[in-house]
Amino acid sequence: HPWLSPGALGAPADSTNEYIGGREDVAPIDGIAPAGLCSALVLIGAYDRHTGCPVLGVINEPFFHRDPLTHRWQGRYHWGVAYGDTRLCSLSP
């Protein structure tokens, strides 16, 4: 497959971004956090402008795990690329 130039990529304007504005010490009521969401994810992706097909994506989860002793958050991320016959991602099969 030919090389895909940056100008051939489109980036959606509405990436997923769930905002955390609450307090983690407030107990959920019926499974709903009354003082903010319990998680935040950010999705950044790009697509081929000619075909409209997705080409790459990265998901960042900054508040994946909170250490019970230090109360510090640990994040994680996942990524994937799909172009032509190339299929790569950060997840193991």
Series of mean pLDDT values for 10-residue runs along the chain (93 residues): 79 52 65 63 86 91 89 92 92 80
Per-domain boundaries in the chain: 8-89
**Which residue type does 17 have?**
N
- Provide the pLDDT for residue 77: 94
Class of CATH domain 8-89: alpha beta
Q: What angle do CA 54, 9, 16 make, to 5 degrees?
A: 55
Could you give phi then psi for residue 17, rounded to 5 degrees? Answer: -150, 100
Structure tokens at 62: 């900054």
- Provide the pLDDT for residue 70: 94
The terminus-to-terminus CA distance of the chain in angstroms comes to 25
- Provide the pLDDT for residue 87: 93
**Predicted structure pTM score:** 0.64
- Provide the pLDDT for residue 38: 61
